[in-house]
């Protein structure tokens, strides 16, 4: 694992933006895995700015998001589809057909999971997968205890994860209890992984990711076994390493 230490959130976002821009421009049809949450917001803002300055085009980029809440329509302000549209897609030249998220509202969630896997396979897998880190070690919505062999699947969200995400909703009762997420094995098939971590609240999780044993109790620990992982973290996040 390569660890890049930066000063703060701003620097993390700018460095991630530069790295991703280079990856996009190296390839003819780059396939990029995307994440939601607070961590990548600065990165998305920076990518938009690069697009607006004509330094970067997303015309040939294909994206796959990690996850989506079950039960939220695409136009629900708390859905990840809505988040992606507001924070990135509507500001850039990506084609709608190229920007994929699992569908959280569907008659058959199992088929949705299988279809998502097929889409990723048909795209010849993800070139660079962007990840955030949950304080409990989750990646995507793969909570502690998820099998390392898991593929895209439906999960019951941990109470801690629902509480952490309640800040985006009116109350915790509105936070969905289920989500669809790429599985750990799906994530591990990405050719490269870029994990972003910022802030003191993630410092224990980062220390465990880097120094703890590889165990399904702490999903992110599996990244130790991927041969192309870059961890881009700020000083606060690395304060316990």
Nearer to ligand F6R, 48 or 81 (CB): 81
DSSP state of 142: B
Token pair for 75:
């136009």
Token pair for 72:
């939220």
- Would you count residue 45 as binding ligand F6R (CB under 6 A)? no
Partners of 192 in the β-ladder? 128
Least separation in angstroms between residue 167's CB and ligand F6R is: 9
Identify whether 138 is a catalytic site residue. yes
Token pair for 6:
């930066």
Which residue in 15, 98, 100, 138 binds ligand F6R (CB under 6 A)? 138
> Could you give the C-alpha distances from 54 to 51, 65, 124, 191, in angstroms and in order?
5, 24, 28, 27
Nearer to ligand F6R, 139 or 184 (CB): 139
Which residue in 16, 20, 47, 66 binds ligand F6R (CB under 6 A)? 66
Q: What CA–CA distance (Å, rounded) separates 81 from 90?
A: 11
Nearer to ligand F6R, 30 or 199 (CB): 199
- Would you count residue 139 as binding ligand F6R (CB under 6 A)? yes
Give me the phi and psi of 97, to 5 degrees please.
Answer: -70, -20
Identify whether 143 is a catalytic site residue. yes
Q: Which residues are catalytic?
A: 67, 136, 138, 143
| Residues lying near ligand F6R in the complex (CB under 6 A) | 35-39, 66-67, 132-134, 138-141
């Amino acid at each position: 694992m390569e660890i890049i230490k930066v000063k703060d959130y701003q620097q993390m976002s700018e460095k991630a933006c530069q790295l991703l821009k280079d990856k996009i421009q190296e390839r003819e049809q780059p396939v990029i895995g995307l994440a939601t949450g607070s961590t990548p917001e600065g990165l998305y803002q920076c990518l938009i700015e690069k697009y607006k300055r004509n330094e970067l085009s997303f015309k040939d980029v294909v994206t796959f998001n990690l996850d989506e809440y079950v039960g939220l329509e695409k136009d629900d302000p708390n859905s990840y589809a809505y988040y992606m549209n507001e924070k990135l897609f509507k500001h850039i030249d990506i084609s709608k057909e190229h920007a994929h998220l699992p569908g959280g509202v569907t008659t058959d969630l199992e088929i949705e999971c299988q279809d998502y896997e097929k889409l990723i396979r048909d795209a010849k897998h993800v070139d660079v997968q962007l990840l955030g880190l949950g304080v409990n070690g989750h990646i995507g919505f793969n909570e502690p205890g998820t099998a390392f062999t898991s593929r895209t699947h439906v999960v019951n969200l941990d109470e801690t994860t629902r509480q952490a995400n309640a800040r985006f909703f009116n109350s915790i009762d509105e936070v969905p209890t289920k989500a669809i997420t790429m599985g750990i094995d799906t994530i591990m098939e990405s050719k490269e992984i870029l994990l972003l971590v910022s802030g003191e609240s993630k410092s224990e999780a980062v220390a465990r990711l880097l120094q703890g044993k590889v165990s399904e109790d702490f999903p992110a620990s599996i990244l130790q076994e991927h041969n192309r992982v870059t961890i881009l973290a700020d000083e606060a996040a690395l304060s316990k390493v």
